[in-house]
């Protein structure tokens, strides 16, 4: 139906074009014929008007007019005549079957033409006329031509038929070209009909038939283009939303990765098969293995620690134990001073297992703290056990024979008193160390006259020095700069230094307590002539519970807290404790304190 319609339209269009072309050609031919006749007629009139009357109307014979009739080349020639002013013809010639019409009564002064209506049995005539030159306007020459009876001459029919045939033969070619160009549109129409309706409604048969029309096809195509544009816009908006969501997820993932890498502990994430899928940056300094090796190599290739390797092996294979939390503490291979704790935690949720998280933590400080605590308990127990044993032994001695032997009773009482003082000193030092380490010991510094405090400490230490056979000396000027210290705390440090110098001295030795004022500080020194220390012991003597291991040192009864506590108290006062000692030559402990400027108000609390 569609092809028939197109063919019919092409045939009608071609016929209309042929008719239009032929009409235009006929009009052009008629105009050309009329112009030719006019040129010929006026030319002949001018030519004849220039001749003398005697040649045009000789009286006998046709004269020149006869020659015109004999040699006419236009089949539409009607007549030629010389007419007088009265309208009579002096001479005339006419084609067969033609009659010369009467002339007009008016003699013309110029050449012109007129159309004579058709008479019965004849065609209309176009007449050209003009005055004779030697007749003073009394005579005129007239030449007439018949108007064409048919617009097309028989001789022109083949030409017009050939033009019409050529144009008509173009119709099939145009039809084939149009059909070829319309083939993609037809295929597009079929594809559009195959697409489900946009609105979800069924397509009616009328719409399907209408879709065969190009206009309907264009409308439907525009409809689908609009729908496609709306769909593309919706997809772009959805894509923008997806990109925003993806960037948010990427930001969250990067943020989480940064957080995981900044954690102080090492992290290993194992998949359900037991392979490491994630390791943060702390794994390398803890285990000494690059993260790239941890992620790209099996556990057996990069893990050198048997304990950690056995822990990771628990989560490999079908029989992996990923639910229970397991913790192991181990020393890394090649780093004996480091202690690590590895703890596994199952990653599960919503009845699904995602793998295992292994946290590797450096617990060296905690391990050392536990070890120090254990050593502390053992040391304190030992320090308390020794005087308690002595007290118990002398108590039994008093119970057995103390009443009978006064010497034994005096010896027992003295020994018991010494051991009680030793335990009291230990307990006091422990209390002070506890306050110091918990931060509850805060010095309340005041402006203190150092010479008076030194003399008080020297007087308190005289009895202890005398009982040990040690000479105690004091060298402190009366006028010495004041210092800003906590008097009670500083006395503890000074007493510990004096007790240490007396305890580790030789029989008959000496201890000197001195003070010296410098440009910016005051130096309080305790010098003894005791056993001295080696360079190795000198660097560790201020550590907690450290005691010099020398021959005979076991009988001196130290507990390793005196110098530690003295050093900490000096540092609380922003001072420093220096030690100068040689083995067998004695020791010098010097306290350096910043002196205070001389003020009018010497009692100011700092």
Q: Tens digits of per-residue pLDDT, 1-49? A: 456 677 777 778 878 888 888 888 888 888 888 888 888 888 888 888 8
Pick the closest to residue 583 from 511, 534, 530 (CA basis).
Answer: 534
Q: What was the pLDDT predicted at 606? A: 39
Q: What was the pLDDT predicted at 244? A: 92
Which of the pair, 430 or 551, is modelled with greater confidence?
Answer: 430
Q: What was the pLDDT predicted at 522? A: 92
* pLDDT over 60 at 203, yes or no: no
* CATH superfamily placement of domain 263-362: PAS domain (3.30.450.20)
Rounded to an integer, what is the distance from CA 483 to the centroid of its chain?
Answer: 63
Q: What was the pLDDT predicted at 159? A: 75
- Tell me: the pLDDT tens digits for 109-131? 678 888 888 877 778 888 888 88
* pLDDT over 60 at 573, yes or no: yes
Q: What was the pLDDT predicted at 403? A: 64
Containing 445, the helix (H) or strand (E) segment is none
Q: What was the pLDDT predicted at 211? A: 45
* pLDDT over 60 at 199, yes or no: no
Q: What was the pLDDT predicted at 157? A: 72
* pLDDT over 70 at 106, yes or no: no
Which of the pair, 433 or 261, is modelled with greater confidence?
Answer: 261
> Is the domain 2-155 a CATH 3.30.450.20 member?
yes
Assess contact for 278 and 285: CB atoms under 8 A: no
Residue partners of 268: CB distance under 8 A and separation at least 6: 276, 278, 279, 283, 294, 312, 357, 358, 360
What number is the average pLDDT over the span 226-246? 91
Q: What was the pLDDT predicted at 9? A: 78
- How confident is residue 239, by pLDDT bands cut at 50, 70 and 90? very high
The first and second tokens of residue 247, run together, are 């960037």
What number is the average pLDDT over the span 395-401? 78
Buried b (16+ CB within 10 A) or exposed e, 531-568: bbbeeebbeebbebbebbebeeeeeebbbbbbbbbbbb
Assess contact for 476 and 451: CB atoms under 8 A: yes
Rounded to an integer, what is the distance from CA 403 to the centroid of its chain?
Answer: 96
Q: Whole-angstrom Cα distance, residue 606 to residue 450?
A: 15
Look at the block and give the residue holding tokens 């822990």.
311
- The residues that bridge with 471 in the sheet, in sequence order, are 510
Strand 471-475 vs strand 510-517: parallel, antiparallel, or unpaired?
Answer: parallel
Q: Name which of 77-81, 176-180, 273-277 the model is least confident about.
A: 176-180
Assess contact for 515 and 453: CB atoms under 8 A: no
**Domain-by-domain residue ranges, the chain?**
2-155, 201-258, 263-362, 367-431, 442-594
Percentage above 70 pLDDT, the chain: 84
Pick the closest to residue 429 from 506, 468, 376, 368 (CA basis).
Answer: 376
Query: Up-side HSE of residue 231: CA atoms within 13 Å toward CB?
Result: 8
- How confident is residue 604, by pLDDT bands cut at 50, 70 and 90? very low
Look at the block and give the residue holding tokens 């010095």.
443
* Strand order through the sheet with 471-475: 471-475, 510-517, 521-528, 586-594, 576-582
What number is the average pLDDT over the span 238-256? 90
The first and second tokens of residue 258, run together, are 């940064």
* pLDDT over 50 at 141, yes or no: yes
Which of the pair, 203 or 341, is modelled with greater confidence?
Answer: 341
Helices (H) then strands (E): counts for the chain: 16, 17
| DSSP structure string for 520-535 | SEEEEEEEE-S----H
Q: Whole-angstrom Cα distance, residue 488 to residue 569?
A: 10
Q: Whole-angstrom Cα distance, residue 340 to residue 308?
A: 10
Topology adopted by domain 442-594: Heat Shock Protein 90 (3.30.565)
Q: What was the pLDDT predicted at 591? A: 94
* pLDDT over 50 at 426, yes or no: yes
Q: What was the pLDDT predicted at 136? A: 66
3-class DSSP assignment, residue 112: strand
* pLDDT over 80 at 557, yes or no: no
Longest Cα pair distance anywhere in the chain, in angstroms? 220
Look at the block and give the residue holding tokens 């008193």.
417
Residue partners of 103: CB distance under 8 A and separation at least 6: 81, 83, 84, 87, 88, 89, 129, 140, 142
- How confident is residue 288, by pLDDT bands cut at 50, 70 and 90? confident
* pLDDT over 60 at 605, yes or no: no
Q: Name which of 154-163, 256-265, 414-423 the model is least confident about.
A: 154-163
Q: Name which of 8-22, 105-119, 254-268, 446-460 the model is least confident about.
A: 105-119
3-class DSSP assignment, residue 365: helix
Topology adopted by domain 367-431: Helix Hairpins (1.10.287)
Which of the pair, 179 or 542, is modelled with greater confidence?
Answer: 542
Which of the pair, 349 or 314, is modelled with greater confidence?
Answer: 314
If one counts every other C-beta atom within 10 angstroms of the C-beta of residue 460, the result is 13
The first and second tokens of residue 32, run together, are 């050309």
Q: What was the pLDDT predicted at 323? A: 60
* pLDDT over 50 at 208, yes or no: no
Which of the pair, 317 or 387, is modelled with greater confidence?
Answer: 387
Q: Is the backbone of residue 586 left (phi > 0), alpha (psi -120 to 50) or beta?
A: left
Helix 487-503 to helix 406-438 angle (10° resolution) is: 130
* pLDDT over 90 at 553, yes or no: no
- The residues that bridge with 527 in the sheet, in sequence order, are 512, 588
Asked if the domains 367-431 and 442-594 are classified in one and the same CATH topology, the answer is no
Which of the pair, 551 or 282, is modelled with greater confidence?
Answer: 282
Alpha-carbon separation of residue 220 from 5, 189, 198, 210, 216 (angstroms): 21, 9, 11, 10, 6
Tell if the pTM clears 0.75, that is, is over it. no
* pLDDT over 50 at 600, yes or no: no
Q: Whole-angstrom Cα distance, residue 269 to residue 517?
A: 64
Q: What was the pLDDT predicted at 550? A: 57
Q: What was the pLDDT predicted at 325? A: 80
Containing 470, the helix (H) or strand (E) segment is none
Pick the closest to residue 152 from 28, 26, 33 (CA basis).
Answer: 26
| DSSP structure string for 486-547 | -HHHHHHHHHHHHHHHHHTSPTT-EEEEEEEE-SSEEEEEEEE-S----HHHHHHTTSTT--
Using only C-alpha atoms, the chain has a radius of gyration, in whole angstroms, of 70
Q: What was the pLDDT predicted at 498? A: 92
Which of the pair, 511 or 96, is modelled with greater confidence?
Answer: 511
- How confident is residue 601, by pLDDT bands cut at 50, 70 and 90? very low
Q: Whole-angstrom Cα distance, residue 80 to residue 92?
A: 6
What number is the average pLDDT over the span 522-533? 92
Which of the pair, 235 or 394, is modelled with greater confidence?
Answer: 235
What number is the average pLDDT over the span 244-248? 91
- How confident is residue 507, by pLDDT bands cut at 50, 70 and 90? confident
Rounded to an integer, what is the distance from CA 250 to the centroid of its chain?
Answer: 8
Q: Whole-angstrom Cα distance, residue 369 to residue 362?
A: 13
What number is the average pLDDT over the span 365-370? 82
Most confident of 176-185, 357-366, 380-389: 357-366
């Amino acid at each position: 139906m569609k092809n028939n319609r197109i063919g019919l339209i092409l045939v009608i269009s071609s016929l209309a074009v042929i008719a239009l072309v032929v009409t235009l050609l006929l009009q052009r031919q008629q105009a050309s014929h009329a112009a030719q006749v006019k040129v010929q007629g006026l030319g002949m009139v001018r030519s004849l008007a220039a001749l003398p009357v005697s040649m045009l109307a000789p009286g006998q014979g046709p004269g020149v007019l006869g020659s015109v009739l004999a040699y006419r080349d236009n089949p539409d020639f009607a007549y030629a005549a010389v007419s007088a002013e009265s309208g009579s013809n002096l001479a005339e010639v006419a084609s067969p079957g033609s009659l010369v019409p009467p002339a007009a009564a008016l003699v013309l002064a110029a050449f012109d033409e007129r159309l004579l209506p058709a008479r019965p049995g004849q065609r209309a005539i176009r007449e050209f006329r003009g005055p004779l030159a030697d007749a003073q306007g009394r005579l005129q020459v007239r030449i007439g031509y018949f108007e064409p009876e048919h617009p097309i001459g028989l001789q022109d029919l083949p030409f017009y038929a050939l033009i019409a045939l050529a144009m008509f033969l173009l119709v099939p070619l145009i039809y084939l070209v149009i059909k070829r160009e319309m083939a993609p549109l037809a295929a597009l129409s079929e594809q559009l009909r195959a697409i489900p309706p946009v609105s979800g409604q069924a397509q009616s048969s009328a719409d399907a038939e209408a879709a065969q029309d190009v206009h309907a096809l264009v409308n439907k195509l525009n409809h689908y283009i609009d729908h496609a544009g709306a769909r593309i816009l919706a997809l772009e908006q959805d894509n923008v939303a997806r990109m925003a969501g993806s960037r948010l997820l990427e930001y969250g993932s990067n943020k989480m990765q940064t957080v995981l890498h900044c954690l102080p502990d090492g992290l290993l994430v194992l998949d359900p098969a037991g392979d490491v899928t994630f390791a943060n940056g702390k794994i390398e300094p803890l285990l000494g293995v690059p993260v790239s090796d941890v992620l790209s190599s099996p556990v057996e290739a990069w893990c050198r620690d048997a304990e950690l390797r056995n822990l990771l092996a628990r989560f490999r294979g079908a029989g992996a134990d990923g639910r229970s939390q397991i913790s192991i503490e181990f020393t890394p291979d090649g780093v004996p001073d480091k202690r690590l704790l590895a703890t596994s935690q199952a990653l599960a949720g919503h009845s699904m297992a995602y793998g295992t998280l292994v946290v590797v933590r450096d617990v060296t400080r905690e391990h050392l703290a536990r070890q120090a605590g254990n050593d502390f308990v053992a040391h304190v127990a030992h320090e308390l056990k020794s005087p308690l044993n002595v007290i118990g032994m002398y108590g039994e001695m008093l119970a057995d024979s103390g009443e009978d032997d006064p010497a034994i009773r005096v010896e027992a009482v003295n020994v018991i008193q010494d051991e009680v003082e030793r335990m009291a000193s230990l307990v006091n030092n422990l209390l002070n160390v506890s306050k110091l380490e918990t931060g509850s010991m805060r010095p309340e510094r005041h402006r203190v006259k150092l010479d008076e405090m030194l003399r008080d400490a020297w007087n308190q230490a005289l009895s202890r020095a005398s009982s040990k056979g040690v000479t105690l000396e004091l060298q402190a000027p009366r006028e010495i700069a004041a210092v800003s210290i906590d008097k009670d705390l500083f006395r503890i440090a000074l007493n510990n230094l004096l007790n240490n110098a007396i305890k580790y001295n030789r029989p008959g030795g000496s201890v000197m307590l001195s003070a010296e004022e410098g440009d910016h500080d005051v130096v309080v020194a305790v010098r003894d002539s005791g056993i001295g220390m080696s360079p190795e012991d000198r660097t560790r003597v201020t550590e907690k519970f450290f005691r010099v291991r020398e021959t005979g040192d076991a009988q001196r009864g130290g507990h390793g807290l005196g110098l530690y506590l003295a050093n900490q108290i000096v540092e609380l006062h922003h001072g420093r404790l220096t030690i100068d000692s040689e083995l067998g030559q004695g020791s010098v402990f010097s306290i350096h304190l910043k002196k205070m400027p001389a003020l009018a108000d010497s009692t100011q609390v700092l």
